[in-house]
Structures are given as C-alpha cells and as structure tokens.
Amino acid sequence: MKRRQVYDAWKQQRQQADCQPGFAEAVMNRIREHEREKHRTFCGVYELMEMISACPLAQAALIIAGVLAGLVRVAFVIGMFLRT
C-alpha cells in the first residue's frame, strides 16, 4: 500500500498545478498557427491553385499561357532544325 499512497500524493500534488489565465487558449492558438504554417508553401502555391480552380477566367488564362509556352517551344525547335 505504500506505493499507492505515494502515487496518490503525487497525483494530488499534480492536480494543484497553477497555470496562467488563458494558457489553454494560447496553446491552442499556437497549434493552429503551426498547422497553418505546415500547409503553407513557397509563394502560396495552394492558395494560387484554389484561386485558379474557383475562377473560370483564371483557368482559361492558365490554358492559354500553357498553349503559348508550347508554341514558343515548338518555334524554337523548328528554328533550331532550320539553322542546321
């Protein structure tokens, strides 16, 4: 029984621990901030993807930019072959 009494005394002492007002809220705010930081990427890629997926005009602009990039690449390749 001695061990049980020591354990109960320790448990009673731990229950009386004082913490500052607002401690739990501060901890939860830090956890939420950490979660937001964990999902944040360089230049806000996820935010950009969400914006593009929500806006049809942005989707069209992205497709046009891809097509133009492809055409420029094809033009460079054709120019390279015509020079040789």
Alpha carbon distance 12, 4 (integer Å): 12
Distance of CA 76 to the CA centre of its chain: 38
Q: What is the mean pLDDT of residues 25-39?
A: 86
Average pLDDT along the chain: 86
Indicate the SS3 state at residue 13: helix
Residue 46, pLDDT score: 75
Q: Does position 10 have pLDDT exceeding 70, yes or no?
A: yes
Q: Dig out the tokens for 54 from the structure.
A: 């929500």
Q: Does position 42 have pLDDT exceeding 90, yes or no?
A: no
Q: Positive or negative CA dihedral for 22, 27, 31, 36?
A: positive
State if pTM tops 0.85: no
